[in-house]
Amino acid sequence: MSDSLSALLRECAHEIGEVVKSQRGRGLSGERESQYFLDVAADEVALRVLGGAGLRVMSEESGVTGNGDVTVVVDPIDGSTNCDRGIPFYATSLAVMRGSELIMVW
């Protein structure tokens, strides 16, 4: 499971990186205070990729979706302001939990 899970997290981060390119510089979404358009787009990718694989997702942007004993805790864009401004100090943060045990950070 570790290799396939790692590959899934890599795919998720890669797809988030691709969608960010088209959303950078659009500014705040107006949906929530300090939430950028790129946050919303990145969250949609994370939910599609991780939820589509049957994982429960706990996202900073959208809360908890799905169910199961494996949860991926996601901050789709950690450093949204930097990312939106093109400052290269941001990341996609992913942590996998089984119950209350941390089993992988990516």
> Residue 30: what pLDDT?
83
How many structural domains is the chain composed of? 1
SS3 content of the chain, % helix, strand, coil (to 5): 40, 30, 30
pLDDT at 1 over 70: no
- Whole domain around residue 13: which residue ranges? 2-105
Amino acid at residue number 47: L
Flag whether the pTM goes above 0.85: yes
CA distance linking residue 75 with residue 44, whole number of Å? 12
Question: Tens digit of pLDDT for each residue in 27-81?
Answer: 999 888 889 999 999 999 999 999 999 999 999 999 999 998 899 999 999 999 9
Q: Alpha carbon of 23 to those of 5, 59, 84, 86: distances in Å?
A: 27, 19, 8, 11
How confident is the model over 10-30, as a mean pLDDT? 95
Q: Alpha carbon of 36 to those of 10, 77, 93: distances in Å?
A: 23, 10, 17
